[in-house]
Structure 1
Amino acid sequence: MTRSWWGWGNVEDAVDETELRALLNRVRALVPGDLAGHEPPGIASLGLPAPRVTPPVSLAALCSAELADRAAHAHGKAFRDVVRNLQGDLRHVPDLVARPRDERDVTDLLDWCGRAGIAVIPYGGGSSVVGGVEPRCEDHPAVVTVDLERMDRVLEVDSTSRAARIQAGVFGPRLEDQLRPHGLTLRHFPQSFEFSTLGGWLATRAGGHYATLYTRIDDLVESMRVVTPSGVSASRRLPGSGAGPSPDRLFLGSEGTLGVITEAWMRLQDRPRWRARASVRFDDYAAAVAATRAIAQSGLNPANCRLLDASEALLNAGVSVGGGVLVLGFESAGHPVHRSLERALELCRDHGGEASADTRAASGAPSGSGPGEGTAGGSAVDTWRSAFLRMPYQRDALARHSVIAETFETACTWDTFETLHRAVTEAARQAMRETTGTGVVTCRFTHVYPDGPAPYFGVYAPGRWGGMVAQWDHIKAAVSEAIETSGGTITHHHAVGRDHRPWYDRQRPGPFAAALSAAKTALDPAGILNPGVLLPAR
């Protein structure tokens, strides 16, 4: 397979002509405008500047100055990144891409960059959608992106404790392939699973497979090893500890600003054998939200509990419904789960929900190794799951045809959800009226907690070729303001990066900001690690 330098995933998996025609036909019914296509530029035509730095002889074998490498590491995979790539706008590119083979190489690279004042961008799979890997480092003489893809092995498996020591550069599929012979799984499947790494999940506090209970990568960490310019931080393997603040919590979510995560001991699970799944339709959205809250607070802990509003259900599942569709899934390695599903369906019926006729349960079925595997239910939601996995590719195809198709997400408490949902939806619609004339807003829950949901919004609007970045930035700023003023978080699982910084600065407490800044100074005294992410660049 060939990775796309400008867009999502593999070139061979991009939208083909048949899929494109069907996609554009759906979009034309909702988003009027010129849908003429545009081809991505060739790398040779980009006019990238020559590298401003030459690595020392001892590190030369680790470093690449190839145009394709530098272009592919210039942006993440957000809509605005894809559009800028399509238009040949790569004004910030790394001078070199370094691929360390082990922790010693990471240390040597940081030592060299620290002495020379060179900015360092730690890089996992590059799937950031918040500017987290973009080298906007004007105050530094050069930028080196440190790509950990060579550090991709499961080093040890402790079957007794059900844990494994894993290098940070391993991509999701290769990680699961190495765990499968042991009958174990990390069971962390974000949408980016195929193209993201363990280190990236840890650095961004990624949300994964589970809609309840073990929703975040944080919950699966036993200990971590991090190389900083000031030394190596290695926490002790323990199931839990009350010995002061957690050292791992300092680095989880640090987004490459405090050190380079090189490996971690991760808590594993036996591979699931029993599954039960269903989809439930509602005529009223408020009732669907109430049913979802009842399940989240029931202690049933479904693996999947995704509520799609009517627009999301229609656009991406082909289901016409008045209120919404709730996707439910349960799984276990140790016992049948059909009774848990039955109880969840009872709660749905209490709120007017109607389970689809193809509700089904499976026992002893083999488990797969992809995002959301084994937890969708019903043919309509199977359609949605397929669309979910294709969404990034389809987003790229729509971008090539001047359609704004992008997402943003948050989390809030149940008592504030109605107010937040109304404010965010209206802000998005108003911003689209101002900049695109029209558009559609969708919402789904990706994760739910006893005390609140994580709403994930989608925006579809006609764009203007050459102006789509500015159009999206206007919409994004409007919805971010609505999220922040309504008491939500600026991000539930997409991280802060550079794009969310203005709202993150307002969300975090002042004393914590001071403590984080002090930690940055202590661990990265030269200020070379991912400047401008989480904190102002020094």
Structure 2
Amino acid sequence: MSEDRRRSFWAWGYEDRLPDDEDRREMKAQLETLLGFPELPVMEYPTLADIDIPEPRIDVPDELADFATADRRARASRTYGKAYRDLVRGFHGDFSKAPDIVATPRNESDVEAAIAWATEANVAVVPFGGGTSVVGGVECGGDSYAGVLCLDMREMDRVLEVDEHSRSARIQAGATGPEIQDQLADHGLQLRHYPQSYEFSTYGGWVATRAGGHFATRYTHIDDFVESVRAVTPAGSLETRRLPASGAGPDPNRFLLGSEGAFGVITEGWTQVQPRPHHRARATMYFDDYWDAVEATREIVQARLYPANCRLLDSNEAMLNELAFDGSHLLVLGFESTDHPVGDDLERAMEIAEDHGGTCPEGPTIEDRSTGDEESDREDSSEGSWRDSFFEAPYRFNGLVSMGVLVDTFETAVTWDQFPDLHEALQENVVGAMEDECGAGFMSCRFTHVYEDGPAPYYTLIAPAEVGEELDQWRTIKQAASDTLMEHGATITHHHAVGRVHKDHYHEEVPDNYLDALQSMKRTLDPESIMNPGALL
């Protein structure tokens, strides 16, 4: 990466893409006018000289000197993830939880050396990929340790092997989404896993957090692509067998998928890939009534048409993304295939939507093309016109934080029969908490994924915060959301992982004896408990 395109040390993404003063004044006017927020400040962005970062508690050891540093910017950039509370702390210059050392291993031998040294020196090890966690997955104060070592995997960024016959690839943990696609393009293949963090998040991070991606149905998580995983643990290397499927006992991949670095460091894995789909069909259906749109979505997914995109945006979400301002709720549909036209599948989905009052003013779009680059492919395929806004949203969040606005998201999954009560309770409890804490609040909802037995709704919160009190206000609102999810039988997270933020509610969600089994696995693989302490377990 060139120095003139470096990433921000406190905010999401590249420094040169932070909203400028004109952008922020425009956002300020929109919030004050459209949402009725009180007058908002426009504060200066922090500089590296402004921040409070403690001196390292430990020195870089000789055995890691070739690939480790205690550089101030390196440590600051890897202190937090990119959730609201992370941005707030970073914006106000609080880097008290900065790691003491940042190591960037070049190969698995470097990873082994780092873990061996940390075990001997009683140093906590925090695996780090793109730094895009929104659940406190990469921050570690390490108060009971001699120090904290951030193990940044970004130097291990290669696609090592491609099996074109089986359509799978062996990918190193530090490869980002664009890097994977660029390397697979030489073989005419793609991974087609597009989380919102796609630009910066890594393959290892996707596996470690069970990340959700591009497809709204069928292939919803990275789990659905993974064939095998390799990791380095304090007790030695662990590698699962590369297989399309197996019925041999509990799946060993499951101990690494979603493990969040608590057992070891994922270094690589074999993953299914595919050619670029030439056949596509998409349409946006408009609804006057939200629950009619929900029923249409349920019937489409239960018809087993398997759309790649089946995302329902409520009227607030449609307005937030500047797609509709007339109160309409939007169902964005998209189908794709590498083999055959998919217009008939879209037509049937549209018929179902029309039966529930949906209309399609712009009409459907049918594509059959054999040329085109990946970037235009990703923007145009089965995601519709809202995708630009989807990928730009984290950059807007940076600007909102600098204006004293509380902006956060949470997501879940619940069965169709329980969704209406959950949705109504969240509207009452979470919006109520925002109004009590901040005087006003706005909440929108979209379905990111849909299953035959239930949706995965994703909520965005916006409220005017009191500068200096943002985190206390956020905790109250977050607690109201999390408690409501638990009370209505929903999951605390569908694809954002557990980290440190969701840990208590995750422990409510799973059986106690299952947690005991995970703790036993941790004692086996990480006997000194140095691996990402405080995350997950």
Q: TM-score, normalised by structure 1?
A: 0.96
Check whether the contact 2:280–2:382 (CA below 8 A) recurs between aligned residues: no
Q: Answer yes or no: is 1:292 the counterpart of 2:297.
A: yes
Check whether the contact 1:101–1:151 (CA below 8 A) recurs between aligned residues: yes
Match among 429, 436, 443 for residue 427 of structure 1: 429
The CA distance in 1 between the partners of 2:141 and 2:263, in whole Å, is 17
How far residue 371 of structure 1 moved from its aligned partner, in angstroms, is 9.8
How far residue 386 of structure 1 moved from its aligned partner, in angstroms, is 1.8
The CA distance in 2 between the partners of 1:15 and 1:132, in whole Å, is 26
Match among 368, 386, 397 for residue 374 of structure 2: 368
Please name the residue that 2:229 is paired with. Answer: 224
The CA distance in 1 between the partners of 2:376 and 2:41, in whole Å, is 34
Please name the residue that 2:197 is paired with. Answer: 192
Match among 510, 530, 533 for residue 531 of structure 1: 533
How far residue 58 of structure 1 moved from its aligned partner, in angstroms, is 2.0
The CA distance in 1 between the partners of 2:292 and 2:250, in whole Å, is 41
Relative distance call for 1:196 and 1:471 in structure 2 (3 A) is same
Please name the residue that 1:476 is paired with. Answer: 478
Please name the residue that 1:387 is paired with. Answer: 389
Relative distance call for 1:220 and 1:59 in structure 2 (3 A) is same
Moved more, 124-133 or 323-332: 323-332
Q: Answer yes or no: is 1:69 the counterpart of 2:90.
A: no
Relative distance call for 1:285 and 1:444 in structure 2 (3 A) is same
The CA distance in 1 between the partners of 2:199 and 2:11, in whole Å, is 14
Check whether the contact 2:125–2:149 (CA below 8 A) recurs between aligned residues: yes
The CA distance in 2 between the partners of 1:38 and 1:20, in whole Å, is 10
Q: Deviation digits for residues 129-186 of structure 1, max 9, x if unmatched?
A: 0000011321111000000000000000000110011100001101100001111111
How far residue 321 of structure 1 moved from its aligned partner, in angstroms, is 4.2
How far residue 359 of structure 1 moved from its aligned partner, in angstroms, is 2.6
Q: Deviation digits for residues 300-349 of structure 1, max 9, x if unmatched?
A: 11111110001111121340344510001111111111111101101101
Q: Answer yes or no: is 1:355 the counterpart of 2:360.
A: yes
Match among 250, 254, 258 for residue 255 of structure 2: 250
Match among 24, 30, 34 for residue 26 of structure 1: 30
User: Which secondary structure state, in structure 2, belongs to the residue aligned with residue 459 of structure 1?
Assistant: strand
How far residue 376 of structure 1 moved from its aligned partner, in angstroms, is 5.0
The CA distance in 2 between the partners of 1:189 and 1:21, in whole Å, is 31
Please name the residue that 2:109 is paired with. Answer: 104
Check whether the contact 2:53–2:94 (CA below 8 A) recurs between aligned residues: no
Check whether the contact 1:191–1:371 (CA below 8 A) recurs between aligned residues: no
Q: Answer yes or no: is 1:397 the counterpart of 2:399.
A: yes
Please name the residue that 2:219 is paired with. Answer: 214
Identity percentage over the alignment?
A: 49
How far residue 247 of structure 1 moved from its aligned partner, in angstroms, is 1.1
The CA distance in 1 between the partners of 2:349 and 2:16, in whole Å, is 40
Please name the residue that 1:312 is paired with. Answer: 317
**What letter matches 2:153 in structure 1?**
L
Please name the residue that 2:47 is paired with. Answer: 42
The CA distance in 2 between the partners of 1:60 and 1:501, in whole Å, is 34
Q: Deviation digits for residues 81-133 of structure 1, max 9, x if unmatched?
A: 00111111122110000000000110111000001110000001000000000
4+ residue runs over 6 A deviation: none
How far residue 48 of structure 1 moved from its aligned partner, in angstroms, is 1.9
Please name the residue that 1:150 is paired with. Answer: 155
Please name the residue that 1:499 is paired with. Answer: 501
Please name the residue that 2:416 is paired with. Answer: 414
The CA distance in 1 between the partners of 2:529 and 2:97, in whole Å, is 19
Moved more, 446-455 or 14-23: 14-23
How far residue 263 of structure 1 moved from its aligned partner, in angstroms, is 0.3
Check whether the contact 2:8–2:14 (CA below 8 A) recurs between aligned residues: yes
- Which residues in structure 2 correspond to 1:227-238 (within 5 Å)? 227-238=232-243
Please name the residue that 1:87 is paired with. Answer: 92
The CA distance in 2 between the partners of 1:161 and 1:432, in whole Å, is 51
Match among 1, 7, 19 for residue 3 of structure 1: 7
Check whether the contact 2:52–2:95 (CA below 8 A) recurs between aligned residues: no
The CA distance in 2 between the partners of 1:127 and 1:262, in whole Å, is 18
Please name the residue that 1:467 is paired with. Answer: 469
How far residue 205 of structure 1 moved from its aligned partner, in angstroms, is 0.2
Please name the residue that 1:118 is paired with. Answer: 123
Moved more, 442-451 or 47-56: 47-56
The CA distance in 2 between the partners of 1:142 and 1:475, in whole Å, is 33
Match among 345, 351, 372 for residue 346 of structure 1: 351
How far residue 40 of structure 1 moved from its aligned partner, in angstroms, is 2.8
The CA distance in 2 between the partners of 1:410 and 1:455, in whole Å, is 6
Moved more, 56-65 or 455-464: 56-65
Check whether the contact 2:52–2:94 (CA below 8 A) recurs between aligned residues: no
Match among 17, 23, 28 for residue 13 of structure 1: 17
Q: Answer yes or no: is 1:54 the counterpart of 2:56.
A: no
Relative distance call for 1:150 and 1:286 in structure 2 (3 A) is same
Q: Deviation digits for residues 256-297 of structure 1, max 9, x if unmatched?
A: 001100000001111111111110000111110000001111
User: Which secondary structure state, in structure 2, belongs to the residue aligned with residue 336 of structure 1?
Assistant: coil
Please name the residue that 2:519 is paired with. Answer: 517
How far residue 358 of structure 1 moved from its aligned partner, in angstroms, is 4.2
The CA distance in 1 between the partners of 2:380 and 2:329, in whole Å, is 21
**What letter matches 2:364 in structure 1?**
T
- The number of aligned residues is 531
Stretches of structure 1 lacking an aligned partner (at least 5 in a row): none
Check whether the contact 1:6–1:72 (CA below 8 A) recurs between aligned residues: yes
**What letter matches 1:40 in structure 2?**
Y
